[in-house]
Structure 1
Amino acid sequence: MSDPHDGHAPRPPESVWDYPRPPIVQPDDRHVVVRHRGVTLADSRACRRVLETSHPPVFYVPRDDVRTDLLSRSPTGTFCEWKGTATHWTLVLGPETVPDAAWSYEAPSPRYRCLAGHLAFYPARVELCTVDGEPVRAQPGDFYGGWITAEIRGPFKGGAGTAGW
């Protein structure tokens, strides 16, 4: 049976426990859209998807496909043992600000150099993220930014009591 949103066959199930550690990056040509308050923040068919054990995938959108004019650099900084130091971005839509709505690796570690020039959005901090028209569910917790779609199977790290996994 075809997916009513994109005309493609459903994707086979993926268990996050089959994803590798350290994570891998895959190109993904599905149609990714990020919106907030009716404004399209990102629209791309040239994303990169990061897959890591116990985490739903994170979609990284090429900067050229993002409304970077609506983002301002945040003072927040985080560090990934694999990818390096992340820069966080605050969404500014008129009088509304959404702190740390997105992040990027401006100078990622060599193994993840392909993520330079891409931004990832926290689906819990914006109104809507879709993959081929399917609304994304946000990964539990406030630290990780995984995108859960119909084919993704857990349990997922990020919710209460999962920090030690």
Structure 2
Amino acid sequence: MADHIKIRPATGTWVVRAAGAVLGESKNALELTEGDYPPVIYFPRSDLAMAFFEPTDTTSTCPYKGDASYFTIEAKSGPVPNAAWSYENPKDAVAEIKDHIAFYHEKVAVEQV
């Protein structure tokens, strides 16, 4: 793993909300820190209401984590485009984040409860 990336269990219970609706709650989330960036919480898919997630055509590539796929969240008030991302086949060094989804804090609320 790149020395500037650390993955550890996120302490406590985490919840993600979009447009007031709870999309998931987890005691098994992961916290990924990368360099000077703020920590990112990755939720296991099994703890999310995946029926509200619609894959998009948006992709990006991280040289350390691999290719990211994005999701629009279908909220009651309307879609929240590209609000979440996942590494479907992450690089071996960050394999723990496979089957996990992270969120843009500007688009949804991610909180420790």
SS in 1 for 2:51: helix
Q: How many residues align?
A: 112
Structure 1 partner of 2:21 = 39
Structure 2 residue runs without a partner (length 5+):
none
TM-score (norm 2): 0.92
**Does 2:10 match 1:28?**
yes
**Does 2:83 match 1:107?**
no
Structure 2 partner of 1:88 = 70
Structure 2 partner of 1:149 = none
User: How far apart, CA to CA, are the structure 1 residues paired with 2:21 and 2:96?
Assistant: 27
1:45-86 Cα offsets, whole Å, 9 max, x none, are: 111111111111000000011111000101110111100000
Structure 2 partner of 1:130 = 111
Matched letter for residue 67 of structure 1 = A
Structure 1 residue runs without a partner (length 5+):
1-19, 133-165
1:131-153 Cα offsets, whole Å, 9 max, x none, are: 13xxxxxxxxxxxxxxxxxxxxx
SS in 1 for 2:15: strand
- Asked if structure 2 preserves the Cα contact closer than 8 Å seen for 1:47 and 1:60, the reply is yes
RMSD: 1.4
TM-score (norm 1): 0.64
Structure 1 partner of 2:79 = 97
What is the percent sequence identity of the aligned residues?
31
Matched letter for residue 7 of structure 2 = V
Of 31, 40, 44, the residue aligned with 1:58 is 40
User: How far apart, CA to CA, are the structure 2 residues paired with 1:114 and 1:107?
Assistant: 10
Q: CA deviation at 1:93?
A: 2.0
Q: Which has the larger radius of gyration?
A: 1
After TM superposition, what 4+ stretches of structure 1 lie above 4 angstroms from structure 2?
none
1:15-39 Cα offsets, whole Å, 9 max, x none, are: xxxxx84301111232111112221
Structure number with greater CO (CA < 8 Å, separation at least 6) is 2
SS in 1 for 2:90: coil
Structure 2 partner of 1:118 = 100
